Structure 1
Amino acid sequence: MTTQVTPPPQRKKITRRKPGEKSSKYYFDDNTQNAIIRFQEAVIVQADGTTKPDHKARDKIYAVEILPAFSTLIENLINVYGYHAIFESRDDLKNECLEFLYGVIDKWKKDRGSKAFAYFNIVAKHWLTIKSKQAAKIVQNYVSIDNRDALSRQDVQSIEDYNVLPSPEDVLTNQDYAKNLKALLAALQDKAKTDNEKLCLKAIQTIADNIDEIELLSKRAVMTYIREITGLTGKQLSMVLSSLKKQYKVAKEEVLR
């Protein structure tokens, strides 16, 4: 009697891909790159022949066709390389990076030969690396005020010389700051193009008007207050702040001129 031997099942070959290799073709493809090109080309020709960004068209293209790809790109980088920033949540880190990528969309040039994915992948990775290193440096340099032995002589002197009442010079400086901030917010209101931008500026004005009654411990706390006042999502707020940041530079020059 012959005994039939059953051969062992063949093991499937597993092909390991580099981080982002598989997903890059799925979420950041030629359609995304074409959307970025259309974003850059969305401009308004003015009477004098110069052009300015068509914010309405750009915001639509970005929200529907670019933001999802940027969002997944950043999430993948955070997952693969473990980027993190102390005192900031994962979503905060991601939204800050999204804001940065939005601001550099015009810097990628299709005629230079590089794919959009390669460019923004490198830019996002560099930004996350720098942000993580900065956060780590803050932790390393942090010294508890209760640990007197770890404080420098200059730190001790500054603490001992601290007065509850501000100096007259500080009072004047704070008054000038408040005046300039009010004028700056008014200038930005005039430049606001969307309802969300106006809503965000109104929230910032509310925080500024009640600054003595609000406990602002960090940038994250400020963002939380703005989110609660406006009711905007993290993605919406990121888009609005990216747009306002560009207008802020012009408004600041006008106010301080």
Structure 2
Amino acid sequence: MKERTDLYIKFIGPAFNEMVDKIVFTYKFTSLPNIDSLREECKIWLMTILGKYDPNRGSAAFSYFSVITKNWFIHKVKKQQKQNKREVDLYNISKSYEEQYLSTEESYLTHREEDEFWKEFYTELKSWDTTQMKENDLKVYKAILILFESKDDIDIFNKKAIYLYLREITGLNTKQIVNSLKKFRKRYYNFKQDWDVGAI
């Protein structure tokens, strides 16, 4: 126990302090209420997931935990925004808007179908033969697996955000990532076609 404590004090703690502070200021999370408390809360949370990092997956530890930390704070921002919106008077929303925007039945079915699709594709993805992949392709492939496995910890807003995560995890530039993704895209389309016709 003492050895682990010393390891944290000398190496892990200072690294987390620097990383969290850098992300807070870089992405302007300083506007969050109680940001100092959130900083400490984030560091404690990082310690609880320390064991999830696998260096064999090809991503640098700093890049991996930077992505996780940034999205932890993004989640806090969204949570704060939701709290701010609770003051909206729902009784002033017209019936048509209520039916259009507050109905959950269609969104539930849509989300469930999407979840099932991505679960099946993730299973398919893990079965791909990696022995013939080139170095960059393998890095991108492993990064994609990391994104799938960390989907509850990260928040992907759009296509640009995906490339950002892939760059941070792989250390490759956008052009290199695009070249690798082109090779994977055909296999994805084949899977989707089979899914759409019920072959899967």
Task: Using structure 1 for the length normalisation, give the TM-score.
Answer: 0.33
Query: Whose relative contact order is higher, 1 or 2, with alpha carbons under 8 Å and at least 6 apart?
Result: 2
Choose 1 or 2 for highest CA Rg.
1
Between Structure 1 and Structure 2, the one with more helix by share is 2
